[in-house]
Amino acid sequence: MPSPYLPNTDADRRAMLREIGVSSIEELFQDIPEKLRHARFKLPPPLSELELKKELHQLASRNASLDNYACFLGGGSYRHFIPSTVEHVTGRSEFYTAYTPYQAEVSQGTLQTVYEYQSLVCQLTGMEVSNAGMYDGSTAAGEAAIMACIIKKKNKVAVSTTVNPTYREVINTYVTGRNLSIETVELNSSLSSDCACLIVQQPNFFGYLEEMEAYVQKAHDIGALFIAIVDPISLGMFKPPEDYRADIAVADGQALGNPTSFGGPGLGAFACRKEYLRQMPGRIVGKTVDVEGKPGYVMTLVTREQYIRRERATSNICTSEALMALAAAVYLATLGKRGLRQVAELCYHKAHYAAEKVAKLKGYSLVFQKPFFKEFVIRCPIAPSQINQALFKEGIIGGLDISYIIDNSMLLCVTEMNTKQEIDKLVEILGAF
């Protein structure tokens, strides 16, 4: 059977071999030592598109999809409404089958949408400049920490204890990988003067809003940079990082038009003050003109990048999450100023409705009495894992069990995707314990 992915016919192959002057394809592999070029591979036999589709549909059906379950999970990956415009734009193969726009003249589509993305991230965060996107929020935070150490010529990074624990692990891997050190900080603890930066999450891992001004002051008092990790959807109603004088803002952009997809692909949004532009990691697109004076876009400030600067580059990043950045741009453009505010407000009000109801249940309480956005921590009368099992039987995926941090506690997330009916059912089942 001919392969749909291999368009050459046997006749083509024979003609090509003749042209090359060899009698078999085997001869083309003669540089590989004989004993190494006939490896054996134990892989399942090939299947046709029809058969494999069937099998993969079955495999997919073994997962509890959020299309069939009400979901109250957050903690770094968020289910938000994705307007159909997003998939239709990112589904255009002119976008998704292209690569990094090295040839600008035939990549204006990618380049201009990156310029739009950078602009929208700046508008959203209030920061002056943005790169074209990184892997995810956690690696963006790790790279921001390294960037701060390079700018400040210091070797230590401070991270708030309320930052998402897995983000802290990733930041730790990045920072210690580069032989830099890390310290953890609380709102009331002091900051050692040899720190290059302080990293705080807003809203934090537990969902509540931090006193960012106090943290920023703490960082700036010792001449350190302040790095904010933010929830991009929250910026539809809450103060942007620029307002509390953050120096670098990072976010996971998954929430902006990308499905949860079992945690990836995500998108690391990265924005900072203009004065640090040349130390920023990642690709950057700039506007310029062509030889006829027509406007156009190019990858710019490339002397920061690995393919030009090699070991002196600001980062090793090359392939990133361009298509997710495109989705984020289309998402923000589709919602616009009203839409994003409305989504944020829907999350806020629904989450507060749920929190209020849960707090009234016997045996339950809100762990933090602080303003929050869409996530909050509840203390349960029994182990959250038991409650989650009961919820799952009723078609609900409950909150994130954080008993390893706070006894019998669960981090609940409510977004515009959760209906009143779902919330009421959640509360009803919780009340039965």
Partner 1 sequence: MSHYYLLPNISQPGKIGCSLPTLDVSPAKLPPKELLRRELKLPEVSEVELMRYFTALSKLNYGVDTGFYPLGSCTMKYNPKWHEDIAKLAGFASIHPHQPEESVQGALQLMFELQEYLAEITGMNATSLVPIAGAHGELTGLLMVKAYHQHRGGKARKKILLTDSSHGTNPASAVMCGFEIGVVASDSEGNVDMKSLESVMNEEVAALTLTMPTTLGLFDPQIVEISQLVHERGGLLGADGANLNAFLGRVKFGELGYDYVQLNLHKTFSTPHGGGGPGSGPVCAKENLTDFLPSPLVTKNNGKYKFVSPAKSIGRIANFYGNFGVMVKAYAYIRSLGAEGLKEVSENAVLNANYLKERLKPYYYLPYDRTCMHEVVFSGKRQKVKGVHTLDIAKRLLDYGLHPPTVYFPLIVDEALMTEPNETESKQTLDAYIEAMKEIAREAEENPEILHSAPHNTPVRRLDDVRAARNPDLRWEMRS
Interface pattern 122-141 for partner 1 (x via CB under 8 A): xxx----xx-xx-xxxxx--
Strand partners, 230: 202, 251
Residue 72 amino acid letter: F
**Binding residues for partner 1 restricted to 137-166, rule: CB under 8 A:** 137-139, 146, 164, 166
Minimum gap (Å) between residue 315 Cβ and partner 1: 7
Minimum gap (Å) between residue 215 Cβ and partner 1: 14
Interface pattern 236-255 for partner 1 (x via CB under 8 A): xxxxx--x--------x---
The answer to whether the beta carbons of residues 219 and 192 sit under 8 Å apart is no
Provide φ and ψ at 376, rounded to 5°.
-155, 155
Interface pattern 407-426 for partner 1 (x via CB under 8 A): ---------x--xx--x---
Q: Three-state DSSP class for 38?
A: coil
> Judged by CB under 8 A, does residue 188 bind partner 1?
no
Residue 118 amino acid letter: Q
Strand partners, 248: 227, 272
Return the number of the residue (8 or 189) whose C-beta is nearest partner 1: 8
The piece of 155-163, 188-196, 218-226, 341-349 that touches partner 1 (CB under 8 A) is 341-349
Other C-beta atoms within 10 Å of 309: how many?
Answer: 12
The answer to whether the beta carbons of residues 388 and 398 sit under 8 Å apart is yes
Q: What is the dihedral angle through the alpha carbons of 86, 92, 94, 99, rounded to the nearest 10 degrees? A: 50
Q: What separation in angstroms does the CA of 331 have from each of 253, 256, 420?
A: 11, 6, 25
Minimum gap (Å) between residue 167 Cβ and partner 1: 6
**Binding residues for partner 1 restricted to 33-52, rule: CB under 8 A:** 33, 36-49, 52
Minimum gap (Å) between residue 162 Cβ and partner 1: 16
Q: What angle do CA 270, 100, 232 make, to 5 degrees?
A: 25
> Judged by CB under 8 A, does residue 223 bind partner 1?
no
Q: Figure out which of the listed residues 215, 297, 364, 376 binds partner 1, where binding follows CB under 8 A.
A: 297
> Judged by CB under 8 A, does residue 279 bind partner 1?
no
> Judged by CB under 8 A, does residue 10 bind partner 1?
no
Q: Figure out which of the listed residues 23, 187, 193, 349 binds partner 1, where binding follows CB under 8 A.
A: 349
Q: Figure out which of the listed residues 216, 326, 380, 396 binds partner 1, where binding follows CB under 8 A.
A: 326
Interface pattern 366-395 for partner 1 (x via CB under 8 A): -----x----------------x---x---
> Judged by CB under 8 A, does residue 172 bind partner 1?
yes
> Judged by CB under 8 A, does residue 209 bind partner 1?
yes
Rounded distance between C-alpha atoms, residue 249 and residue 227, angstroms: 6
Q: What is the DSSP letter of 242?
A: G
Residue 297 structure tokens: 């876009």
Q: Figure out which of the listed residues 125, 148, 174, 430 binds partner 1, where binding follows CB under 8 A.
A: 174
Return the number of the residue (222 or 273) whose C-beta is nearest partner 1: 273
Interface pattern 51-90 for partner 1 (x via CB under 8 A): -xx-xxxxxxxxxxxxxx--x-x-xxx-x-x-xxx-xxx-
Burial class, 164, CB count within 10 angstroms (exposed 0-12 / middle 13-18 / buried 19+): buried
Q: Which residues contact 331 (CB under 8 A, 6 or more apart)?
A: 82, 83, 86, 256, 257
> Judged by CB under 8 A, does residue 23 bind partner 1?
no
> Judged by CB under 8 A, does residue 362 bind partner 1?
no
Return the number of the residue (169 or 428) whose C-beta is nearest partner 1: 169
The piece of 185-193, 337-345, 359-367, 425-433 that touches partner 1 (CB under 8 A) is 337-345
Q: Figure out which of the listed residues 289, 369, 404, 432 binds partner 1, where binding follows CB under 8 A.
A: 289
**Closest to 134 in 3D by CA, of 55, 248, 218:** 248
Q: Which residues contact 328 (CB under 8 A, 6 or more apart)?
A: 117, 120, 121, 133, 232, 253, 256, 257, 258, 267, 269
Return the number of the residue (20 or 405) whose C-beta is nearest partner 1: 20
Q: What separation in angstroms does the CA of 187 have from each of 211, 372, 375, 405?
A: 8, 17, 20, 18
Residue 360 amino acid letter: K
